[in-house]
Amino acid sequence: MNTDTKDNINIQWFPGHMAKTHRMIEENLKLTDVLVEITDARIPESGRNPVLSQLMENTKAKPRILLLNKRDYADENATRLWLEYYAAHRLTAISCDCRSGAGLKGLIPLLKKVAGEKKYSGAIRVMAAGIPNSGKSSFINRMAGGKKAAVGDRPGITRGKQWVKVGGSVPVEILDLPGILPPKIEAHRAALNLAYTGAVKDEIMDVHALAGSLALFLAEHHADKLIERYKLDSDMVKNAVLSAAGNDIIENIARARGMMIAGGEPNAERAALALLDEFRSGKIGKITLERPPV
């Protein structure tokens, strides 16, 4: 990952299982009735894979529902604007929290509606798809009423294909596939958004540089939340923005949290990990990283 945030950041993470997933989506999409695409409500567009739209075009515009998951971590007003944006573009979208089930109550009737009257006796077959760490496994477990899929707060948990049956008056079968990123992400902001929210494994990136970049973004757009969470000096935050010194913010977070190493130096690596973890878990506040186009 290029740590110079002034240049494009190319995330090239396309391991073998993702290439295999691409083929599985293409092969199985024609066998399903509805595609449920899951994205992170904090990055509704950056968190979508354009490959899915391309495949949908090849299957005669199969019905699709977009789930803006993790809405409890996102800004409510921004989520409302995104829902209005998708409605204007004739894409059915709902906001939800797949872990708690909030917002999913009306999904089964919606699936029945968009799937249309089935001409055969059987379940509505749904493909659940999305990028890594978007919440697919949490969605499937919530719909199935139990632990049917492996869940984690890092990408790459689901590695194979499985069908999961959902009980109820309207039978539903959900196809669970591993998360898939595009083979190359060239858009600077999209790459950062994916990295900030944990869609890409931290192990392949410079975590310190990533946290410094996130610290600057928060200082520019959500300074009040950043200052409140870490008890930072407001003048220091302003100066860090002016000088584009995200590392200064990280070091001050370390000092404020008592994260020190031998010699009285701030433990910047530990503070960097704390910032990323607390942003991803919503502890800094409800923050959406992108707004819909005007």
The per-residue pLDDT for range 14-38, each reduced to its tens digit, is 555 556 667 777 778 878 899 999 9
Q: Which of 10-14, 56-60, 127-131, 265-269 has the highest mean pLDDT?
A: 265-269
Q: Which pLDDT value is given to residue 18?
A: 58
> Which of 249-284 are b and which e, b meaning 16 or more Cβ less than 10 Å from the residue's Cβ?
bbbbbbbeeebeeeeeebbbebbbbbbbeebbeeeb
Per-residue pLDDT at 101 exceeds 50: yes
More confident residue, 109 or 6: 109
Q: Which pLDDT value is given to residue 176?
A: 84
Mean pLDDT of the chain: 84
Per-residue pLDDT at 224 exceeds 50: yes
Q: Which pLDDT value is given to residue 281?
A: 95
Q: Which pLDDT value is given to residue 3?
A: 38
